[in-house]
Amino acid sequence: MANNSDIITDNILYQLWQNKKFPHSLIIDCANLDFALQQVEIFLQQILPPSISLANNPDYQLIKREPNSTGNIAKNITISQIRQAEIYLFKTAAISQCKVLVIYEADLLNINSANAALKILEEPPQDCYLILLTNNISNIISTIKSRCYKLKLAIDKAESEDDYQEMQERVTTLLRAHNIDDIYKFAAEVALKKNQELWHNFAIYIQHYLVANTLKLSMSEQIRLYENISNIINDTEIMDLDKRLAVILVFHKIIKLRQ
């Protein structure tokens, strides 16, 4: 039986890669950044040469905040770190087919380092992938977000494969039937305060569904659709908006896509 980590990796990151749809710029939004980094590194171990560890792979670089002159961890990722990363990215891959840069706590880029990162995103080197990890996506400047594919990862370790499969079956059935009354009933159920886990599972599965069912779209169309639906979900969570309306809007956009 697959665990939660397997579900996330196989259905999003690796599936995008297998279908040659992996974006060159990706933001992963996850409350637990160490968990997110673990998932990314599990994925990278599948696409980079397995004969060498990621720590020793010259084609993989991880940027984190560094100690400052007082020995404490700096408040931000600095512009010098991003400029060094830019030099790294424009070099030819040493042993892999591509190069990967991961920025941990991307929301802690200061204005200068964020602008330097934006420059890389505007003119990305060939065969390079940038993955930004954050637990506060609202703090990432809009110009960076607009150039990145966005994924939201679940970290609820109590989430079982059975929960995931049940949500998959319910959403698939609703989308297939196009019964508005049933969709409204489902939305009302998800919106109940006692059903936070149901909302959580819905928010995660919808992203998995989009990955599996938008392969015929261009990358720019996928990004726009993902951003639109992600904004609905994220705004609903951050501003405590009406979950019932959010669910109905998401179904409306997906049904429109399927027509």
Q: According to CATH, what is the number of the domain 1-155? A: 3.40.50.300
Q: Mean pLDDT throughout 97-124?
A: 95
Strands (E), the chain: 25-29, 60-63, 99-104, 128-134, 149-152
Task: Kindly report, residue by residue over 181-217, the tens digit of the pLDDT.
Answer: 999 999 999 999 788 888 888 887 887 787 777 656 7
Confidence of residue 7 (pLDDT cuts 50, 70, 90): very low
Note the pLDDT of residue 5. Answer: 37
Around 91, how many Cα atoms within 13 Å sit in the side-chain half-sphere? 15
Q: Which two tokens stand for residue 79?
A: 């512009």
State the chain's mean pLDDT as an integer. 85
Q: Mean pLDDT throughout 40-49?
A: 91
The reply to whether the predicted model has a pTM over 0.75 is no
Note the pLDDT of residue 78. Answer: 95
- List residues bridging with 99 in a β-sheet: 128
Confidence of residue 3 (pLDDT cuts 50, 70, 90): very low
Q: Identify the helix (H) or strand (E) that includes residue 76.
A: none
Q: Which is more confident, 109 or 32?
A: 109
Q: Mean pLDDT throughout 216-235?
A: 76
Confidence of residue 13 (pLDDT cuts 50, 70, 90): confident
pLDDT of 4 over the 60 cut: no
Note the pLDDT of residue 155. Answer: 59
Note the pLDDT of residue 219. Answer: 65
pLDDT of 46 over the 50 cut: yes
In this structure, what is the dihedral angle of CA atoms 67, 70, 74, 77, given to the nearest 10 degrees?
-60
End-to-end CA distance of the chain: give it in Å, rounded. 35
Highest mean pLDDT out of 30-39, 85-94, 149-158, 188-197: 85-94
Q: Mean pLDDT throughout 95-114?
A: 96
pLDDT of 39 over the 90 cut: no
Confidence of residue 158 (pLDDT cuts 50, 70, 90): very low
Domain boundary assignment for the chain: 1-155, 159-259
Note the pLDDT of residue 173. Answer: 93
Q: Are 140 and 106 in contact (CB under 8 A)?
A: yes
- List residues bridging with 28 in a β-sheet: 133, 151
- List residues bridging with 26 in a β-sheet: 131, 149
